[in-house]
Amino acid sequence: MRITTAIAALILGVSAHAAKPAHDIETRIDDLLGKMTLEEKIGQLNQYTGSGYSPDMSGRVKAGMVGSILNEVNPETVNALQRDAVENSRLGIPLVFARDVIHGFRTIFPIPLGQGATWNPALVEEGSAIAAQEASSTGIRWTFSPMVDIARDARWGRIAEGYGEDPVLTSAMGVAAIKGYQGDDLTKPGTMAACVKHFACYGAAESGRDYNTTWVPMELLHDVYLPPFEAGAKAGAATFMCSFNDINGVPSSGNPYLLRDILRDKWQWDGLMVSDWNSITEMINHGFCADRSDAAMKAALAGVDMDMEGHAYDNNLAALVNSGAVPMETIDNMVRNVLRLKFRLGLFDNPYVDMATANRFYTPEALDAARRTAEESAILLTNSGILPLGKRPGKIFVTGPMADAPHDQNGTWCFDLEKSHTVTPLAALREKYGKAVSYSPGLTYSRDKNTDFGKALEMAADADVILYFAGEEAVLSGEAHSRADITLPGAQTEYLRALAATGKPVVTVIMAGRPLAIPEECNLSKAVLYSFHPGTMGGPALANVISGDAAPGGRLPVSIPRMSGQVPLYYACKNTGRPTTEMTLIDDIPLEAGQTSTGCTSFFLDAGHEPLFPFGYGLGYTSFAYGTPVLSATEMPADGSIDISCTVTNTGKRSGSDVVQLYVRDPVASLARPVKELKAFEKITLAPGESRTVSFTLPASALAFHNAKGEAVIEAGDFLLWVDDSSACKSKPVEFRIK
């Protein structure tokens, strides 16, 4: 298996729009626009949430007052409302139906953070295509996914919905999701318009508290937060969604620098920009707008085409146009973007759900893909050698609040989950090991504080191995669900102490929506397997990995902290003037120690400075050796590139995959640069003893960074380069220079 994702490939995303020539669509748009009244134009700019077929919604649709409906997933109702639009309104403009299909529709895949852990864009594309097939079979043709917000603070609940802390990994996964949703022809049934969100900097929320303000200087905005959105725009994403937050005091819903200067002028993107839920009206709460009319004006002028449930546009735009505050040309361009989406989706030619193929879910192919994704997202953090268990490990005691949690195993944003279809680890282990498996939860849910573990401990003491499934309920991550303390909730750690005290070996499996600070849990366990809420087939996937029928294919898409207080925490950090060369940890400090005795460098007395586990890290069931990288040249011009190759060998006894990662450092520049940055990666699978030479092309442009004006600069000088298996980069770097 070769999945090559170099930086250049990210930008060359293939536009996934309709097969119809663009001029044909633009001609049809102009023709239609010329017939529309102002009220009908404004009607297209409104998105309302559905709740079945009602006379009120039907009446508004027939009057041409609705452009899109979200959250209606009954195909009969979709078709009934669509008939009102197409056959019973003056101009017959179809509706577009939307839904948050974030990591699957009925067949639930691992949460996006888990999909990021696969480092396998092809798998993400496959799963997104399946999600599109399932959702579009109910009439949904627009999903509000992928979320490509960079997240470096695990307190933030929505870290679950993105692909982690790194722009290159996030860009690759976001592009893969867009390709999966949109396919190669968006007019085909079975496809959905993607929506790149939340534009922008939503993951920079101060202190990780959701919706909080952000302070993002131009250098950071352009170096870290914008690249995944640019990759999405260039990959042909049909829509974008602006974010709730303000950036340096300007809410994204009213930010022309973001929505026009960057998205339209610099990136030349021509899709549809939708607000987040009520985010236009919420600019009043921000203190940025006086009232809904002011909010509607600022959002329209800034570049928000469609108002999601904000009721700002529907009641105010007509007066704003008549007063001249909002030019008709602005309205026309907003309507063009809405009509263009509908033409690109083929809705004018094919508006209805084919009831003969409606509601098609849980195909064997979908379930197989969900299991493979969950296997490839499982990250083995520690292993004494107890894993894999093999075929006959003796008596297995399965326990913990996540062992048989068919709802919570799927994680956040599963609006269409049917938990009866979830296969839990308990069910899968019973299938695999039969009567060797005994079970008692010990704790009934992740926040359970009951420390009377009862018969569970007796059963644990009688087992040969304990499988402890711990973590977070689904509701503890996702929107509005930030946590200040990112340790295991409830009495889960106390319960693990009691299990370990039985003297029997414990394998701990964490299912969570975020990285959790688990240093003690690692010390108490013989192995720790991390699974970001793995979805419908998480049980079979984890049972296969635990038994050895599959290998853990995951690598961390985010750093795992030792303590909550370490976050925000990320590998691509600055060296500072006091890099940590020496430190004395809190329990090692002598009494009455002198002020400067602990080492005046950058670290925490009680947490040090390193993560518990670094970005890109993960163990497998075999081992790999990396050769010294070979460069095609040791210097290149600012418009040149260098080819890098590295030979990787499977030095173990079973086949396995590894993610070959290329990092670069610019040790001296006009702005202090990160100690390293991921520039490319490739996931490979090797048989025992097999070697493969992995090659990357690194253009000098990938080494650009941005100045205070947001301008990209490439500076001459020396660079360090690693090809390694994680951001820890234990190998010796090689050098090259830009002349």
The span from the CA of 224 to the CA of 229, in Å, is: 10
The span from the CA of 492 to the CA of 400, in Å, is: 8
Smallest separation (angstroms) from ligand GLC to the CB of 109: 17
Q: Of 276, 282, 408, 724, which one interacts with ligand GLC (CB under 6 A)?
A: 276
By CB under 6 A, tell whether 332 contacts ligand GLC. Answer: no
Smallest separation (angstroms) from ligand GLC to the CB of 31: 32
Smallest separation (angstroms) from ligand GLC to the CB of 199: 11
- 722 neighbors 731 (Cβ within 8 angstroms): yes
Smallest separation (angstroms) from ligand GLC to the CB of 346: 23
Counting residues that bind ligand GLC (by CB under 6 A) gives 6
By CB under 6 A, tell whether 705 contacts ligand GLC. Answer: no
By CB under 6 A, tell whether 724 contacts ligand GLC. Answer: no
- 196 neighbors 146 (Cβ within 8 angstroms): yes
By CB under 6 A, tell whether 479 contacts ligand GLC. Answer: yes
CA distances (Å), 182 to each of 149, 174, 188, 544, 555, in order?
Answer: 20, 12, 9, 32, 27
Q: Of 60, 106, 179, 197, which one interacts with ligand GLC (CB under 6 A)?
A: 197
Backbone angles phi, psi at 107, to 5 degrees: -75, 110
By CB under 6 A, tell whether 210 contacts ligand GLC. Answer: no
- 112 neighbors 103 (Cβ within 8 angstroms): yes
The span from the CA of 709 to the CA of 397, in Å, is: 59
Q: The tokens 């695999």 sit on which residue? A: 432
Applying the rule CB under 6 A, the residues between 142 and 161 that interact with ligand GLC are 144
Catalytic annotation present for 549? no
Residue with the shortest CB distance to ligand GLC:
144
Q: Of 277, 313, 439, 495, which one interacts with ligand GLC (CB under 6 A)?
A: 277
Helix-helix angle 22-33:328-344, to 10 degrees: 130
Annotated catalytic residue: which of 276, 305, 314, 404?
276
Smallest separation (angstroms) from ligand GLC to the CB of 160: 12
Q: Name which of 241 and 379 has its Cβ closer to ligand GLC.
A: 241
- 222 neighbors 267 (Cβ within 8 angstroms): no
Cis peptide before 637 (omega within 30 of 0): no
Q: Name which of 263 and 723 has its Cβ closer to ligand GLC.
A: 263
The span from the CA of 380 to the CA of 360, in Å, is: 34
Q: Name which of 179 and 197 has its Cβ closer to ligand GLC.
A: 197
Q: Name which of 100 and 134 has its Cβ closer to ligand GLC.
A: 100
Burial 612-633, CB ≥16 within 10 A → b, else e = bbbbbbbbbbbebebeebebee
Q: Name which of 242 and 463 has its Cβ closer to ligand GLC.
A: 242
SS3 of 515-566: the string is CCCCHHHHHHCCEEEEEECCCCCHHHHHHHHHHCCCCCCCCCCCCECCCHHH
Applying the rule CB under 6 A, the residues between 339 and 358 that interact with ligand GLC are none
Applying the rule CB under 6 A, the residues between 82 and 121 that interact with ligand GLC are 100
Q: Name which of 197 and 342 has its Cβ closer to ligand GLC.
A: 197
Q: Name which of 142 and 624 has its Cβ closer to ligand GLC.
A: 142
- 576 neighbors 622 (Cβ within 8 angstroms): no
Applying the rule CB under 6 A, the residues between 34 and 63 that interact with ligand GLC are none
| Beta strand pairing call for 239-242 and 272-274 | parallel
Could you give the residue numbers annotated as active site? 276
User: Which spans of this chain sit near ligand GLC (rule: CB under 6 A)?
Assistant: 100, 144, 197, 276-277, 479
